[in-house]
Structures are given as structure tokens and as C-alpha cells.
Amino acid sequence: MHNKKTLDEWLSWQEQLMEETILLGLDRVQKVYKRLFPDGVPFFAITVGGTNGKGSTIAFIDSIYRESKYKVGCCTSPHLIKYNERYTIDGEIVNDSVIIKAFEAIEKKRQGVSLTYFEFSTLAALIIFSEADVDIALLEVGLGGRLDSVNVVDSDVSVITNVAIDHTEYLGDTRESIGTEKAGIMRTTKPCICGDQDPPESVLASAKKIGTPLTLVKEQYKGEIGLEGDHQKLNAAVAKKVIEAISNEFPVSDDMIKSGIKQAQIVARFEKVSVGNKTVILDVAHNPAAVKTLIKTLSESAMETVAIFSALADKNIDDMIELASSNIKHWFLVPLSAERSIKMDALEDKFGDSQKTTVCTSMASAIEQALTLKEIQRVVIFGSFYTVADASVILNEI
């Protein structure tokens, strides 16, 4: 147990500590949190939940504050290539030794309490941000809200980007039940900013019940934005409202807001990579609502498009395929490096005779085959964080 030296050794040990990778509930993590932070965390916390758009909304808020004098920490998940991507301070990714030091602090206080991999990463973020003396921490909810480990922190502002159907085995299969879970991050008298265009009754009722001032964002942001796609204008508007809601504590000028929104960047959200004369789009869309948004953004420019696709077995893959099919000329199906990924024969069976598919042995071969198609201008790679992560590694070497 004490022979963990490197970050990789720590992470593989954490993966073995609990059989379940996802185990919702705050009892275990709360015990350790209270030992680490008996008086709560020493920074201002903004908790961001929602089905899609969490990462982008955080990117906008972070980018705005980076224009200011405030020191900001971001905790997002999952990572694409390196675990360290989960933690940034003023835009800089945190190094191994800082993370290991946080893990050691958790281990001292854990005293036999079992924690999941995600609970370790949440507590590590809080330690890292405290040690770095950040003013504001942006904390992305992993799954749901009410029972997610991020919810051990009493946030000063909560954000719900939207509520769509995903993770039904944990959160229920209606927008109302999922809304109840998302609303669990709200706190009495602390503002909640919600970007859902038709919020479930459960979200409105929760806010009313506990006395949370709820702001519903209906108008898109009108200025220039750094991220592509119509939906990002709404995420930018949500970010701006968050900044405005706490402008008494953290004043920010209009110029900083404009400049921050314009410069925001985030990997794998309609991220464009040029390879020769072709455009490769990387997007982590992994549920029907996100795929719908991706296809809408693709439709804004008429280009012959093929897809490299794979997904986790527990996702609504049928709807994802159906939503994308009219825009995709040819599908290259790839195996993923994740345990929960769908088997290739099962994935192939989801396509009808009218759809052109090629089953590939690897991501490298899928990318090679897609890029050699002469008449194709654009390749979109989506379906899961794992799909995009596998592709990123290969594209970085091209």
C-alpha cells in the first residue's frame, strides 16, 4: 500500500480499491471531506451540472476570469489523454507531484473508508485548489448532481446547463427524475443559473422548495465567441450570467467578459484539426441530445462527411446513429480501449442496409481509410470520450 511512487501507480491502485467505478452516494466521501476540511473549503465554489455543455460553460467562465486578477481552479472530467488534464489553475495543467501530494493527504485521512476513483479525484481537486490559494474553483459534476461527490462542497453558485436523457440506470429515464438529481446541487439563498430552454418542473420546484434564487437563461450571447456552434452562444450566455450573479464579490469589466468569451478554447468540442486538405472534427458527443447539436453544427457548412464512430454499450446508440445518418456518407466503426464499450458485431448490427459501414480493426486504420477517400472533405470522430481520446493520440502523430 505504501509503495505507490508514481501517478500511474496511484491511479491503478485507486481503480482496484473499489469494484464499482460508479457508486453514487455521499456518505463515504463526506466522512473524508469533513476530516480534510472541517470548516469547508477556503475558496468560492461554482458547481456546474447538466447533461451537456458543462465543459464548455466552464471554459467560458474560466477564460473570463483569466482576463482578471482572480486566481481560478478548474476541475473537469473525464480527461482525454492525461489524468492531469482534470485540474488546471489559471489555465495551466497541474503536474504529477502536486496530484500525488493531494492523494497522500487523502490517504492519511481516509482511515479505511473506501473511495471510488472519481471520489479521489474530487477530493484531490479541493486539496490542490486550497494549497494553491485559488479565489474561485469551478467544479464539474461527474454524474447527476445530488449524489455526485462534487456535491460534498456547499457551492456558492450552482449551474445547470440543461437536462437531457443520459445515464438512465443511475438517474432515472425521464427528464423530471433526472432534473431532480441535477437540482440536488442547488443551495438555499445561493444563486442557480439554468440554461435549459424548457426546464423540467422538478428543477423549478426544487429551487422554490429550498429557496434558491433561480435565473433561467433564454437569450443567446450576442458577441463573438471562441467556440463553434449555435449551442455555444447559449453556454456563453450562461457563463456571463454566472459572472454577473457574483459581480459584487468578484467584479469583472464588460471588456473582460467580451475578451474571455472570444478567447475561450476547449478540446474535443467541435475541435477542428486539418490533415492535408481534409478537416477532421473531434467531438465528445455521447448521447442523443449532444449528437443532435453536433449534426446541427456540421450542417452549417455543406461538406461531404464520413464518421469514425464507437460508443459505450450502455448509451442510446440507436438514436445517436439515426440522428446522424442523413449527414454521414460512410461510417467507420472502431473498437474502443474501454471496458464498457460496445462489441463490434453488436455495433455493426445497429446499421441498416442503406448505410455504408466499414468495421475497422483499430482507430489508426479507421483514420487512414477515412482520409484516403478522395471525394470526402470532412471526417467527424464522435460517440464517446474514449473514441476521441484514441483518435487524438493518433492525430498528434500525423
pLDDT in tens, 141-153: 999 999 999 999 9
Question: Going by DSSP bridges, is the β-strand pair 331-333/271-275 parallel, antiparallel, or unpaired?
Answer: unpaired
CB contact at 8 A, 118 and 86? no
Chunked mean pLDDT (size 10), the chain, 398 residues: 83 85 84 98 98 97 98 97 97 98 97 94 98 98 95 98 88 92 98 98 98 98 96 98 97 98 96 96 97 97 96 96 96 93 96 96 97 96 97 92
Domain-by-domain residue ranges, the chain? 7-263, 271-395
- 352 phi-psi bin (left φ>0, alpha ψ -120 to 50, beta other): beta
Segment (H or E) for 14: helix 7-17
Q: What pLDDT, on a 0 to 100 scale, did the predictor assign at position 20?
A: 67
Q: What pLDDT, on a 0 to 100 scale, did the predictor assign at position 170?
A: 78
CB contact at 8 A, 74 and 62? yes
pTM for this entry: 0.95
Q: What pLDDT, on a 0 to 100 scale, did the predictor assign at position 244?
A: 98
Q: Is the peptide bond before 191 cis (omega within 30 degrees of 0)?
A: no
Q: What pLDDT, on a 0 to 100 scale, did the predictor assign at position 21?
A: 64
CB contact at 8 A, 46 and 155? yes
Beta-carbon contacts of residue 162 (< 8 Å; ≥ 6 apart): 50, 51, 52, 53, 195, 196, 197, 289
Q: What pLDDT, on a 0 to 100 scale, did the predictor assign at position 211?
A: 98
Cell of 307: 464518421
Angle in degrees, CA 208, 214, 215, rounded to 5 = 150
Give, in words, the CATH class of 7-263.
Answer: alpha beta
- CATH code for 271-395? 3.90.190.20
Cell of 73: 481552479
Catalogue the E-assigned strands of the chain. 44-49, 72-75, 87-89, 92-93, 136-140, 157-160, 192-194, 214-216, 271-275, 278-282, 305-309, 331-333, 357-359, 378-382
